[in-house]
A and B are shown apart, each in its own frame.
Chain A
Amino acid sequence: MGTKEKKPARESGQRPKQRLKRAMLVDLYEARQFLTLDTIKETGLRMPVQVYFKDPAVAETTAVAGIDNDFTTPWEPGLGDGPTSARFAVVDYDATTNVLTPPAIWDRKRNCYVAADRKTALDGKTKDLYQYHQLSVWAIVQNALDYFESSSGLGRRISWAFEGNRLIIVPHAGYGENAYYDRESKSLQLYWFASAKGTVFTCLSSDIVNHEFGHAVLDGLRPHYYESLATETAAFHEFLGDLTAILMAFRNNAFRKIVLKESHGKLTNAQLLAGLAQQFGAATEEAPYLRSGLNSQTMKRLAGTIEPHALSEVLTGAMFDILMGIFAKHRTNEIKRAKRGKSGKPSDIRAFADTVPRMQMLAIQPLDLLPPCAVTFRDYALAVLRSEQVSNPTDPTGYRELMIKCFIKRGVLTQRDRKDLMEPAPVFRRLALDVFHPVDDLAASRGGAYRFLDDNRAKLRIPANVDIIVPEIVRARKRNRDGLPQPDQIILQYLWREELILEGARFGRFAGERTAMLCGGTIVLDQSGNVIHWARKPGTLAVGNSQAARDDQAEGLERRKELLNTIAARIAAGVIGDTIGGELGLLGRASPPFTLRRVDGTIRFSLAPHFSIRGDAPDDETGDRQWQISF
């Protein structure tokens, strides 16, 4: 925020010396957007909570198993026992033991959470108390949500995909190597299991918690991504889970220091990333939880794969490459600055610390620019580049070139894309429209947004005879790297369904039934009506005679062909079926990764919850035999 002088940093982990009266705290809370981070921490608007980076029972080294002493999480006036806050409710029910553990108690006087005895503060010393786990997992997601909603992130409040606004967090859901987000029960469930080193609690591993939380966030931003069988769309979900875990890990000061230390100050690509892979360690002793960013996967190499976790590595790898490229630039800057005598020795720690918030903006802010359905890696890459262009139009350090190179290396973008993207052009354009609508009108309601779309169907190439769904219209205030406000973004999503008949034997038991291809787009305008981004998923009807309409139609036909092929492939692999369960709970083993429901006589295929913390479910490639129940 501006150019204020920095106050001396306080010692980590300490509570603010002066305890404010509640009324004053609420007053400051109302004004928090104008306060510096130091003030926020000093006044208690961010509460210090000692969280573990990783459950010590699985951490590769004791260093990573340590407490993050600098971790803080946003305070709210309405905090309650649980913890329960505006967007989260921790329910500590264990389905294996049928035990509801008493909640962590909110001590209003001390402004912190305490154990059931109403006295003991919950911190790293009380690691074995379940109330400490409750607090820890709540603090992690409370912090992660703030990260997404802050102006360095999406710059707006986000919603969940389900009805209601509180995500239920279950820190000790039961026995199993499982952790998953489930839209149907509005929950994030974290299980525990036994290992040689003792009980492993997935709720204590921040990477697992953040990964699953990433799914909840993306589902809220783009609920129609779940209604898909496409590998890339499912892979994008996995990518976002990993991205969330990685970015939140990078924000962990202790973690950054460890990584730097482990690489002995020499931060070349390989050493840094190898260090990361090791530090993420195992969720179990054998399987790495996060797909390592240190991979060399490309779209070409994984062409034809139907495994979402495997495919997600391409995008994770690309973003890692970008991260390293940015770090390299920051290092170069540090060295230049030192040479000019402007600062002391060049500091890798500082360069790394600067890279992290840059990465946050670069990776998170584009999420608002994504299409409403059937997302591909290419959609994301284009959104990343456009988002960067808008927040950094002159690009003196050449980030754009760097990012395009990284995406091309992985096959996410092509040379043809590069040519189009690097073509000199005005940063801001206006949409060609038939009927002008003031931005404030269309931003004020879904109805207003719809009238804008409907009046301009021809120019927006939306077919005349489809009814359009407007899932969301939002207004965001993002900031750029220097803390300066970007233009406001008015983000408008629209969708329609184009009916498809599953004709042919390749559709197995669904042959002859109907499903739909989701079509639509996301239009992002600034407050003046300039187009920030327009991501389209066309249908197969040509809207008009223009070249653009014909191109759209070609793309729509290609999309339909691919969708039908994907459906057939999933059917052949026997991976679509019911999620098996009832009043007693779910049987994960018998539940395939894709499911379906019938609405108005058509089938809607969708992703099923991914129960296991182990990557892609071990598909023994014997078809649906593997889901049979043996009675």
Chain B
Amino acid sequence: MADKLLIRLFDVGLGDCIYCRIPKAHKDGRDFHILIDCGTLSSTDYLSDAVKHLKALLPLIGGKRHVDLLVVTHEHKDHMTGFGMKLWDGMSFGAIWMSAAMDLNHPEAKRAKKLHAFAAGAMQQALRLNLALGPQLTELAAAVALNKTAMTTLRETLPKKNKIKATYVHSQSSKKDLALPLKGATVSVLGPEKDIDFYYLGRAGDPSLRRALGLIDSGLPDPATAVPNEKNIPAPANIDPAEFRQLRSRMLSTALAFADLDGKVCNNTSVVLLIVWKGRRLLFVGDAEWDGAFKKGTKANCSWNVMWNLRKKQLDGPLAFYKIGHHGSVNATPWGQTPVARSGEPLAILDAILPVKSKAKAAAIVSTRRGNYPTIPRTDLLAEIGGRVSNTRNYADAFTKALKKTSEVPQFAEYERKSFAKPQPRRTDLERMLVDSKPFVDVEIDSPH
């Protein structure tokens, strides 16, 4: 019991709040406690509950509940909004890691920074003006919009209180930067790469990219211009106002285009953690994405492809645990979705980390909830992962047995029914429905004999 490694994904709706306890791995002989992310796009009540439960798992050191390592994978609301809430009093932190993309002074992220400042400002403006964005874009705007309080907490308040400095990590961070009071286990960073602009925005070689980068360099418009207040929008004299409104809603929005690109860069500069404990490999990928293939320099690459090409030695090998990326989104776990994906990098990566033949020794869980963005989670992807891990559940059977109605599962017919009877890795949303008020999903990993 105490010798098992515990990973607990709190159910925070559409968000991540992950606790990992490595038994007896602290230099002082006690357990080592890790918290990865605390955020949601759903109700923030989930976060208060989660942190309350979390505290009960943590050791009391100097009168405070202590976290040895806090990792904030990337600057999206569903991973860090909790840090803007008053939840952290009575807690202490041994180390705070954030993605190098969140370092305002990171020299190789100049473009990414400009892009992010624009995107966050523009989406903040959109929310402030209460524009009708449609469900999918509402999530983008919410995720990307400025969250000053949370960032201040992470960059200033918590480090000061704990007398430490926040560390911005990347795959080439020095041993010193990544030093932790660990024994019998290692924590390494597989992503992002240090040169964020180069790998995740690309150089201007790709023509379609050149335009975007050019505008980022030469000057994105002011967010108030890109997302104007209706009373500041001039009215043409030769068409009527309704036609003009309709026209504007069918024009390409610079704000959306760049918020979209920023969202992609942000996801792909998620901190990717590899924890190795007694030969067991545990991978936490934040919201890292994949696409068809890696291309050096002239492409806005996705994290998985970059890692597969540059960090292959560390990535290539069966996992004991996989935190399913981006709440089960189709683009966050590489898989053989199409013939091209099957014959290329995507399936090769999945076969390397979760080979079917090692199913018995692998586990995966996902923290998710289906809401405004209806295609998250992707149940055919979850079924694919289900065929490669052992901690699965046949939810069709489970619901029947528990006398629960599938009609209560959001958008069941369109997005759940087809894969419902296939074994899926445990999901926080469905586990909560099956076991009333169960607010988390666990994976325990044995120490090998």
Contacts and interface: CB of A to CB of B under 8 A. Distances in A.
A371 to B, nearest CB: 29
A349 interface: no
Given A100-B235, A622-B291, A584 B131 contact: yes
Contacts, number: 220
B330 A628 contact: yes
B337 A625 contact: yes
Q: Is the interface of A mostly helix, strand, loop or mixed?
A: loop
B247 A100 contact: no
Given A621-B340, A631-B76, 19 more contacts: A84-B238, A91-B239, A93-B244, A98-B233, A100-B236, A177-B208, A193-B211, A581-B256, A582-B132, A584-B126, A584-B255, A584-B256, A589-B257, A618-B208, A622-B337, A628-B330, A629-B263, A630-B267, A630-B268
A189 interface: yes
B127 to A, nearest CB: 11
Given A82-B238, A176-B252, A191-B252, A185 B137 contact: no
B243 A95 contact: no
8 contacts: A89-B238, A103-B237, A193-B211, A581-B137, A609-B250, A625-B291, A630-B267, A630-B331
A582 B133 contact: yes
Nearest to A180: B252
A351 B215 CA distance: 48
B214 interface: yes
Contacts of A590: 136, 260
Interface in A593-623: 609, 611, 614, 618, 620-623
Contacts of B250: 182, 184-185, 187, 189, 581, 585-586, 609
Interface in B234-281: 234-239, 243-244, 246-257, 260, 263-264, 266-268
A172 B237 CA distance: 17
A170 B247 CA distance: 10
Contact of A186 (B226, B243, B268, B339): B243
A414 interface: no
Contact of B257 (A92, A100, A583, A588): A588
Contacts of A100: 234-236
Given A173-B252, A625-B337, A628-B330, A580 B236 contact: no
A270 interface: no
Contact of B263 (A182, A187, A630): A630
B131 A623 contact: no
B436 interface: no
Contacts of B237: 81, 103
A587 B257 contact: yes
Given A98-B225, A581-B134, A187 B247 contact: yes
A626 interface: yes
Contact of B137 (A97, A509, A580, A620): A580
Interface string B121-135: 000001000011110
A622 B414 contact: no
Interface of B: 41, 76, 78, 126, 131-134, 136-137, 139-140, 142-144, 207-208, 211, 214-215, 218, 221, 225-228, 232-239, 243-244, 246-257, 260, 263-264, 266-268, 287, 289-292, 329-331, 337-341, 346, 373, 375, 414-415, 418
Contacts of A618: 208
Contact of B330 (A99, A586, A625): A625
Contacts of A286: 207
A624 interface: yes
Nearest to A586: B252
Contacts of B268: 630
A117 to B, nearest CB: 18
Interface residues of A, number: 70
A487 interface: no
Interface string A90-125: 111101111110010000000000000000000000
- Most B CB atoms within 10 A — which of A173, A581, A588, A630? A630
Interface string A174-203: 111110001011110101011000000000
A437 B142 CA distance: 64
A628 B253 contact: no
A194 B254 contact: no
B134 A629 contact: no
Contact of B131 (A103, A173, A582): A582
Given A191-B252, A194-B214, A583-B131, A96 B337 contact: no
B433 to A, nearest CB: 22
Contact of B211 (A177, A574, A580, A609): A177
A170 B132 contact: no
Interface in A193-246: 193-194
Nearest to A580: B136
A166 B292 CA distance: 43
Nearest to A621: B340
